[in-house]
Every structure is written in structure tokens, then in C-alpha cells.
């Protein structure tokens, strides 16, 4: 890497001692690039084996990449931690301004350890770390308010990223998230709870600096090539027009969309929730992550009348995308967009992962229907499919749990089902609640392998649709394809480019980009580094107790119709056995 | 003969002067519609990239949220004032007002006192932290070239243009 690049600066913050320092970790970045690659190594170094994820010594790592603030769409920050949700690897990626802000502040990675005795937020700017008292912000009902207070009290307008947790994180809900720039999340595996356990309410980071390139002419040329591809090419169209919500209609037609806890894989009622209808009737604004011209973040305006005054409305911009429409719409039988937006807004307010929460709400609904739990377990609430108002109350109850049942639900559906039954329809894989794809066996193998970072998304749905719709493929071949794709994805998340840009950033393009910031690596070498990074992640997972044999697989996936008709126990079993051999060896 | 020569020179001067003014001096950057801004910062990166390097140190256009991202964005560009307050407060004459508005920075004269930054009430004097000097918009319009949503435009300033 280039001599003057500040990427190799790793900022260490000790919340217990309220101290910070910087170490130059050039060797780490030169070997693993940044993002996922570097964060994995830092996690291995900093996380004591077998530690409670909520112990003060359990670290939080944020890492950005060499192309951050250099090329468009390199806008992701990789967070790594030990997950309180699964007990093994916690990896979560978010955009917003986070990556550009960290890189512009002069760091390639931030390591946070220890725990504060009082609530604090961190202000990182001008080469310093300020520990700010956040006592007044702790316990606020709406998690957007602390962000507003931090914004009003701090510098760096237009350049800063503000991370914060909500009450779910404070209450250590194991799937609570960290939100950045209001609409982007380090979601899923419980980073919010790790923040909460350290009494860390949030952080703000900003900066502005130059990154030298070693060939200015070639830099301009390559920049224009990537920028043009990002703005003109059809590969990005899906993301900036209708957004990922375009998949709702596609998957519903294919019979691949989980509806009512995957009791069904399609519904005739979902038309108002399709991306097309959402855009027509509800889309109000689109926003972008820093240094990304695509602007895939779609915001709808939720207009709610006040009951006591017909001329007052609460108007709230609410983000929506495919996963949100699936998890807080179809999965819980809500087909009215306004009702769904209300529920999304609630989930944002408490700061909890939308997919996990949707799956848990769906599972609870089925537990109620089957009389497996009592009304007292859920504080007397009447829960039924599609009732957004009841679900909104239930979100509050789960994130502020008082009954044993709700306390179990705050630890995830796998934990709750182990205690209360209903495992066969507890839709989790490796203790992480499912994303919205019931496309075929490749997808489920991908979930179970835990091959991808926290979203559980993986190349499986593409394999299902391209290879298994009309043909068949041996499970072993499917696993090979999944793992091969993951090697490439590790590179993308190490440099750290948004996965939506995978059509632009093939490994040859990555190699050209890296050359300009001083990395001489060809596509083959990059592929090997990708494999190595992937293996390191598995080493951490296995070290912390991940076992193929312990995976719970809900029976429902075999029962509900899917587009391939090939989701069988045998297929999944053989795929897993093969993967186990490959990975563990 | 002499009269003809003088007449010809005068005509040439006016034509050249008029053309130069039209083509260079009077082009002004304008915020066409901030409501279309998505906050992608492509303009800021383009502006900073004029130096040939990456990052944001050299940008003299700013995009910030209007009280949180949910409320949209404010786009800050230099209005190239006719009587620039930034130049008025410069103690060393480093900021030179231009005939058609705006200023140019004579870097060697600048002592980095930051008074110009304070004087600009729309925060359009940006700061290069590494050099400790202001970054001044020259109305080149590269930011507009890289705006994917037509928020910005470079237009002839025959009359007053709207700037945000």
C-alpha cells in the first residue's frame, strides 16, 4: 500500500480506562486488504476464546477498505464481534457515511474494548477520541432522538457518521442493531447488545483528508469507468429504480416468498406490497450512502392522523426494501403498506433487527394459534396475522421483556423454541432468523453453512434460480459453487465495496483499483486471499463452538412448496456433510 | 487610415473581451433543485479529485442534511458574491475579488487565519485541513458533471441565478 496512506492506522479505544491510542498495522492491511479481511484478524487477536459476548473484554471491530473514499460504491464498513445471538462470529456490514467518515478521520479500523461504568458516546475527530457523557440519552424511547442530540452537539456537518443504539441494545436483546445515518444498520447478530453491554450509546466520527494515488491519469480514467457503470449500467438499475423491493413480485410469482411464517410461499394479497406499487403509492425520497451515486435507500412517507384532531398528522419518513417488506409484511401477514410502515417505524424506534423481529413475531403468532403459549406469556396481548397494532405492542414487550417467555424471545427464536417448543416452525438457521428467500435447497445450504456475513443471504438463491429450476445439481456441486462465490465476496467486503456493485467490481477491476493505492495483486492472488479470509472466519466460528452437527433445521422448509421442488432432507444432509469435510479439514 | 486601425482594434477588443467573459468569467454554478439530492457526495469527491488525488480534503462544495437525512439535504456552493465578504475580511489580500463576482485565492499570501471562513454566512468557504488554507470555488462545474440527479448546473450568469 502507498506510503502515506493512513489506512493502516488502527484506533484502539479502551472504554474502561477511557484511553485511546493508534497502532500502525501495515502488515495486516497489506496481507488482508481491510474490511472483513483485517477485521477477522483483529477479532482473532482481541477476542479471548470462549468469552461471553457481553463481557467487557469482548471487542468490537470496525474496518474499512483501501478503496473507501477512492472509488464509488466502496461505502461499506465491516463490523466484527462475537455475536450474543449465535455465540460465534458476528459480522455485519453497513453503509451510510460510516466508511467514508472512518477513512477520512484517518483510520482503517477501530477496535473498542472494555466497558464504561456510565453511559457514554464517543466523538472521534481531529486525531482524538472524546468520551462524552451519555447519561441523559440512555433509556430514550425513540432511538432517533439521541442521534439528533449528538448531531446538535458535535462538529463535522456533512462529513460525519453517527452510530447509535436504541432501547433494544440497552436491554441486551441479542438481535439489537446499531443504526447509522437513520436508515442504515449494522443489523442482525446483536452488535447493539454488545454496545449496550459496554454502556456505549453511540459514536460520531468525521474527517476530511487526501488519499494519494500513484497514477493520477489512470485514477481519473478508472474512476470514470466505474462511475459510468454505476450510473448507466443495467446491472445497477434494479437498485436505483424500484430498489430491492422489485424482488417481492418476482419471488411471489415463483412461490419463493415466505408468507405467514412460511406456511405458504406465495399469496394473492401481496400486490400492494410489491416494489412497483410501493414506488407508485408511497415512495417519497431516495437517499444514498456516501460516495455511492446509486441511491438505493427508498423512503416512504407514513402519514398517520391523530385521533383527537383530524387536522393533525404525524408524518414520518420510513425506509423500506425487500427484506423489510418480507419480514414485517408478508412473513406476519400484513399486506397493507401503511400498516407495514407503522411496524417498520416501531422496529426502527427500538433499534432491533427487522428480519429477526419479523421471524419472531411470526413464530409467536403461530405459537398462539396452536395454543402452545398462554395469553399471560405475552402480557395479555391478542395476536393475530396481519394485526400491525398488536405487533407494535408486542415489539415493545419483546424488547422490554417481563415474562420468561418474552425474555426467551429477546434471545432469538432458536432459544425460545428450545424452551417452549415449536422448533419445526422456528425459522432460523445457525440460530439466525431467516431472510426472505425460499428459493430452493441451495439457498438453505447457504444459510446453514453460515458462509456469508450476518445477512444470511448467499449465492444460493442465484444457484436455485439459474441451475435448479429446471435441472438438478448434486448437493456437493452446490456447496462448491457457494464457497467459490464466497471467496470473491470476502474480497469485496475487504476492500470494502457494497455487494450490490458486484457486477462492476470483478476481481480484475478490483486489481486495477488496488494498484492505484499501492497494492500489486492480480485476480488469482485476490481469489486466494479471499479463500484464506473465509477460512479464518470459519476458524473463529469453530473456535467459538460452531458445529455442523448442532444445526437445527426447521421441518417447515421441507413442507412448503418451493420453485425447485428439490428441498429434501437428503439434499440438505448431503450438502452439509460435504461442506463439513471441506471446511473442518 | 489611423482612424480605421483604431476602430478595428476597438472592435477586436470588444469581441475578444465579450467572448472571454461569456465563456469563462460569467459561468456560475447553480443549485437547480436540492430536493433531488440523495446525499451521495459524488459532487464533493469530484471537486476534490481536481487535485488528481482521492479523498475529500480539497472539496469546495458541501452537502449536509437539513436537520437529519429524513428531511433531505442542503447543497452549499459559492454564490460568487459581487462584493465578497470573504475577501473583505482577508488581512493579507490573499483573496482577490473578481470582476464578475467571486474570488481567487493567492495561496502564497494566505496565512490560514480562517477569517474568510467565518465571514461566509452560508459556509461556502471550505477548508483544507492538511494545508490549513481555504478552498475556493472557481465555478468550474466539475461537480455538476458528476451529479447523477441533476441537482447542480453550470449556467451563464447573465442575470442573477439562484444559488442555495
pLDDT band of B10, cuts 50, 70, 90: low
Strands (E), A101-196: 109-113, 120-125, 128-133, 161-164, 178-180, 184-186
Distance in angstroms (rounded) separating the CA atoms of residues A65 and A568: 40
Q: What is the pLDDT of residues B14-47, one digit of tens each?
A: 544 444 444 445 789 999 999 999 999 999 999 9
What is the least distance, in Å, from the CA of B41 to any CA of chain A? 5
- Tell me which chain A residues have a C-beta less than 8 angstroms from the C-beta of B149: 295
Contact B55 A208 (CB under 8 A): yes
Q: What is the pLDDT of residues B58-97, one digit of tens each?
A: 999 999 999 888 889 999 999 999 999 999 999 999 999 9
Q: What is the block-wise mean pLDDT of chain A (585 residues), using blocks of 10 residues? A: 96 98 98 98 98 98 98 97 96 97 98 98 97 98 93 95 98 98 95 98 97 97 97 83 94 97 98 97 96 96 92 94 97 98 98 98 98 97 98 98 98 98 97 96 92 73 89 93 92 95 95 98 97 94 93 97 96 96 84
Distance in angstroms (rounded) separating the CA atoms of residues B64 and B81: 22
Distance in angstroms (rounded) separating the CA atoms of residues A369 and A404: 19
What 3-state class would DSSP assign to A106? coil
- Tell me which chain B residues have a C-beta less than 8 angstroms from the C-beta of A6: none
Distance in angstroms (rounded) separating the CA atoms of residues A47 and A268: 48
What percent of the residues of chain B are helix, what percent strand, and what percent coil, each to the nearest 5?
A: 35, 20, 45
What is the least distance, in Å, from the CA of A196 to any CA of chain B? 24
Cα dihedral across residues B153, B157, B158, B160: positive or negative: positive
Helices (H), chain B: 2-20, 42-48, 85-89, 115-119, 142-145
Count how many residues are written for chain B: 164
Q: What is the pLDDT of residues A233-292, one digit of tens each?
A: 887 887 888 999 999 999 999 999 999 999 999 999 999 999 999 999 999 999 999 999
CB atoms within 10 A of CB A262: 24
> Which grid coordinates belong to A310?
383530524
- CA-nearest residue to B148 within chain A is A293
Cα dihedral across residues B66, B68, B70, B76: positive or negative: positive
pLDDT of the residue at B27: 86
pLDDT band of B164, cuts 50, 70, 90: very low
Supply φ then ψ for residue A151, to 5 degrees. -60, -40
Q: Which of B39, B45, B53 sits opposite A213 (nearest CB)?
A: B53
Tell me A564's DSSP state.
Answer: S
Q: Which of B54, B65, B148 sits opposite A69 (nearest CB)?
A: B54
Contact A209 B48 (CB under 8 A): no
Distance in angstroms (rounded) separating the CA atoms of residues A462 and A413: 27
Contact B148 A293 (CB under 8 A): yes
SS3 per-residue string spanning A77-140: EEEEEECCCCCCEEEEEECCCHHHHHHHCCCCEEEEECCCCCCEEEEEECCEEEEEECHHHCCC
- CA-nearest residue to A180 within chain B is B69
The DSSP annotation for A9-39 comes to EEEEEETTTTEEEEEE-HHHHHHH-SHHHHH
Contact A288 B38 (CB under 8 A): yes
Residue B25: exposure state from Cβ atoms within 10 A (0-12, 13-18, ≥19): middle
User: Do the beta carbons of residue A162 and residue A186 sit within 8 Å?
Assistant: no
User: Do the beta carbons of residue A86 and residue A431 sit within 8 Å?
Assistant: yes
> Which grid coordinates belong to A73?
460504491
Distance in angstroms (rounded) separating the CA atoms of residues A164 and A17: 21
Strand-pair partners of B62? B76
> Which grid coordinates belong to A207?
474527517
- CA-nearest residue to B123 within chain A is A157
User: Do the beta carbons of residue A365 and residue A384 sit within 8 Å?
Assistant: yes
- Tell me which chain B residues have a C-beta less than 8 angstroms from the C-beta of A231: 148
Contact A158 B57 (CB under 8 A): no
- Tell me which chain A residues have a C-beta less than 8 angstroms from the C-beta of B39: 287-288, 290
Tell me B161's DSSP state.
Answer: P
Contact A291 B40 (CB under 8 A): yes
Is A223 at the interface with chain B, CB within 8 A?
yes
| Strand pairing class (A200-205; A120-125) | parallel
- CA-nearest residue to B63 within chain A is A158
- CA-nearest residue to A286 within chain B is B38
What is the least distance, in Å, from the CA of A209 to any CA of chain B? 4
**Which residue in A492, A490, A495, A399 sits closest to A174, CA to CA?**
A399
- Tell me which chain A residues have a C-beta less than 8 angstroms from the C-beta of B65: 157-158
**Which residue in A322, A355, A481 sits closest to A92, CA to CA?**
A355
At a CB cut-off of 8 Å and minimum separation 6, what does A6 contact? A103, A106, A107, A108, A209
pLDDT of the residue at B16: 46
Distance in angstroms (rounded) separating the CA atoms of residues A454 and A429: 11
- pTM of the prediction? 0.94
Q: What is the pLDDT of residues B88-122, one digit of tens each?
A: 999 999 999 999 899 999 999 999 999 999 999 99
Q: Any idea what the Cα angle at residue A218 is, between residues A214 and A222, rounded to 5°? A: 120
Phi-psi region of A120 (alpha: psi -120 to 50; beta: other; left: phi over 0): beta
Helices (H), A370-411: 388-399, 404-409
Q: If you compute the radius of gyration of chain B from its CA atoms, what whole number of angstroms results?
A: 18
Q: Which of B54, B70, B72 sits opposite A211 (nearest CB)?
A: B54
pLDDT of the residue at B159: 52
Q: Which residue has the cell 461442506?
A: A579
Contact A287 B55 (CB under 8 A): no
User: Do the beta carbons of residue B60 and residue B137 sit within 8 Å?
Assistant: yes
pLDDT of the residue at B23: 45
Interface test with chain A among B69, B117, B127, B146, by most A beta carbons within 10 Å: B69
- Under 8 Å CB pairs connecting chains A and B tally to 101
User: Do the beta carbons of residue A222 and residue A71 sit within 8 Å?
Assistant: yes
**Which residue in B62, B60, B58, B57 sits closest to B41, CA to CA?**
B62
Amino acid at each position: 500500500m502507498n506510503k502515506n496512506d493512513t489506512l493502516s492506522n488502527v484506533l484502539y479505544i479502551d472504554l474502561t480506562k477511557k484511553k485511546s491510542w493508534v497502532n500502525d498495522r501495515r502488515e495486516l492491511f497489506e496481507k488482508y486488504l481491510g474490511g472483513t479481511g483485517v477485521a477477522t484478524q483483529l477479532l482473532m487477536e482481541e477476542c479471548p476464546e470462549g468469552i461471553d459476548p457481553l463481557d467487557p473484554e469482548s471487542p468490537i471491530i470496525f474496518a474499512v477498505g483501501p478503496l473507501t473514499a477512492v472509488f464509488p460504491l466502496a461505502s461499506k464498513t465491516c463490523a466484527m464481534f462475537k455475536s450474543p445471538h449465535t455465540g460465534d462470529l458476528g459480522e455485519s456490514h453497513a453503509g451510510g457515511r460510516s466508511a467514508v467518515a472512518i477513512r477520512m478521520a484517518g483510520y482503517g479500523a477501530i477496535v473498542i474494548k472494555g466497558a464504561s461504568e456510565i453511559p457514554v458516546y464517543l466523538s472521534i475527530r481531529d486525531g482524538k477520541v472524546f468520551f462524552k457523557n451519555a447519561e441523559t440519552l440512555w433509556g430514550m424511547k425513540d432511538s432517533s432522538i439521541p442521534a439528533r442530540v449528538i448531531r446538535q452537539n458535535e462538529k463535522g456537518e456533512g462529513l460525519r457518521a453517527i452510530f447509535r443504539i436504541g432501547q433494544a441494545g440497552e436491554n441486551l436483546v441479542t438481535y439489537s442493531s446499531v443504526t447509522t445515518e437513520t436508515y442504515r444498520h449494522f443489523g442482525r447478530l446483536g452488535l447493539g447488545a454488545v454496545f449496550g453491554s459496554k454502556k456505549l450509546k453511540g459514536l460520531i466520527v468525521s474527517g476530511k483528508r487526501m488519499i494519494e494515488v500513484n497514477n493520477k491519469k489512470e485514477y481519473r480514467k478508472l474512476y470514470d469507468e466505474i462511475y459510468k457503470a454505476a450510473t448507466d449500467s443495467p446491472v445497477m438499475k434494479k437498485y436505483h429504480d424500484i430498489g430491492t423491493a422489485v424482488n417481492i413480485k418476482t419471488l411471489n410469482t415463483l412461490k419463493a416468498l415466505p408468507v405467514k411464517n412460511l406456511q405458504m410461499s406465495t399469496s394473492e394479497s401481496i400486490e400492494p406490497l410489491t416494489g412497483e406499487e410501493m414506488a407508485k403509492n408511497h415512495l417519497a425520497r431516495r437517499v444514498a450512502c456516501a460516495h455511492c451515486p446509486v441511491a438505493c435507500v427508498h423512503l416512504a412517507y407514513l402519514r398517520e392522523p391523530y385521533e383527537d384532531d383530524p387536522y393533525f398528522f404525524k408524518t414520518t419518513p420510513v425506509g423500506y426494501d425487500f427484506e423489510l417488506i418480507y419480514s414485517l409484511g408478508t412473513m406476519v401477514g400484513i399486506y397493507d403498506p401503511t400498516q407495514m410502515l407503522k411496524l417498520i417505524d416501531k422496529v426502527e424506534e427500538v433499534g432491533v433487527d427487522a428480519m429477526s423481529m419479523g421471524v419472531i413475531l411470526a413464530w409467536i403468532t403461530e405459537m398462539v394459534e396452536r395454543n402452545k403459549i398462554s395469553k399471560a406469556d405475552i402480557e395479555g396481548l391478542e395476536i393475530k396475522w396481519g394485526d400491525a397494532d398488536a405487533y407494535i405492542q408486542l415489539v415493545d414487550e419483546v424488547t422490554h421483556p417481563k415474562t420468561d417467555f418474552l425474555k426467551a424471545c429477546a434471545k432469538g427464536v432458536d432459544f425460545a423454541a428450545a424452551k417452549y417448543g415449536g422448533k419445526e416452525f422456528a425459522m432460523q438457521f445457525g440460530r439466525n432468523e431467516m431472510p426472505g428467500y425460499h428459493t430452493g435447497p441451495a439457498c438453505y445450504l447457504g444459510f446453514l453453512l453460515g458462509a456469508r456475513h450476518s445477512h444470511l443471504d448467499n449465492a444460493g438463491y442465484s444457484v436455485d434460480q439459474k441451475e435448479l429450476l429446471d435441472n438438478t445439481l448434486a448437493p456437493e456441486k452446490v456447496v462448491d459453487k457457494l464457497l467459490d462465490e464466497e471467496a470473491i465476496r470476502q474480497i469485496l467486503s475487504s476492500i470494502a465495496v457494497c455487494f450490490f456493485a458486484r457486477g462492476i467490481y470483478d476481481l480484475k477491476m478490483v486489481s486495477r483499483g488496488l494498484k492505484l493505492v499501492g497494492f500489486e495483486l492480480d485476480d488469482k492472488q485476490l481469489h486466494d486471499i479471499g479463500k484464506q479470509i473465509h477460512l479464518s472466519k470459519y476458524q473463529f466460528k469453530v473456535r467459538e463452538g460452531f458445529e455442523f452437527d448442532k444445526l437445527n433445521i426447521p421441518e417447515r422448509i421441507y413442507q412448503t412448496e418451493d420453485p425447485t421442488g428439490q428441498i429434501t432432507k437428503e439434499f440438505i444432509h448431503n450438502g452439509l456433510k460435504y461442506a463439513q469435510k471441506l471446511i473442518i479439514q | 487610415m489611423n482612424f480605421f486601425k483604431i476602430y478595428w482594434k476597438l472592435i477586436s477588443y470588444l469581441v475578444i473581451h465579450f467572448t472571454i467573459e461569456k465563456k469563462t468569467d460569467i459561468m456560475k454554478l447553480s443549485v437547480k433543485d436540492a430536493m433531488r439530492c440523495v446525499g451521495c457526495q459524488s459532487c464533493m469527491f469530484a471537486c476534490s479529485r481536481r487535485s488528481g488525488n482521492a479523498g475529500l480534503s480539497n472539496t469546495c462544495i458541501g452537502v449536509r442534511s437539513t436537520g437529519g437525512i429524513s428531511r433531505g439535504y442542503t447543497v452549499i456552493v459559492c454564490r460568487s458574491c459581487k462584493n465578497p465578504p470573504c475577501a473583505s475580511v482577508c488581512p493579507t489580500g490573499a483573496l482577490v475579488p473578481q470582476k464578475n463576482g467571486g474570488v481567487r485565492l493567492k495561496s502564497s499570501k494566505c496565512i490560514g487565519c480562517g477569517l474568510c471562513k467565518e465571514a461566509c454566512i452560508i459556509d461556502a468557504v471550505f477548508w483544507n485541513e492538511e494545508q490549513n488554507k481555504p478552498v475556493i470555488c472557481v465555478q468550474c462545474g466539475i461537480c455538476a458533471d458528476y451529479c447523477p440527479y441533476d441537482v447542480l448546473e453550470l449556467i451563464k450568469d447573465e442575470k442573477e441565478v439562484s444559488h442555495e
